[in-house]
Amino acid sequence: ESNGYFDSKVLSRNHAEVSYRNNQVFIKDLKSSNGTFINGKRLSAEGKESNPVELKHGDDLEFGVDIVNDQDKKLLFRKVAAK
């Protein structure tokens, strides 16, 4: 009940953590391979846990990145994104 599950090849098993404190919502990356992004900025380097970052109304949130085939550039796996 406290976890969100996504069937996605671009997400790590424990990808990110969302928390709520003092009427604010925070997110941090949990050492994911493909990253967690707010407004296009990656929260931490691959394999490094980020500090919590406050989410604000209207932020673009992305988990992972789109993966394309090198040969024909077809989309293989899609990132998970929300606003």
The pLDDT of residue 5: 76
The pLDDT of residue 6: 78
The pLDDT of residue 1: 62
Residues 30, 15: contact at Cβ < 8 Å?
yes
The pLDDT of residue 16: 94
Average pLDDT of each block of 10 consecutive residues along the chain (83 residues)?
77 90 96 96 96 96 94 93 90
Q: What is the pTM of this model?
A: 0.87
The pLDDT of residue 42: 98
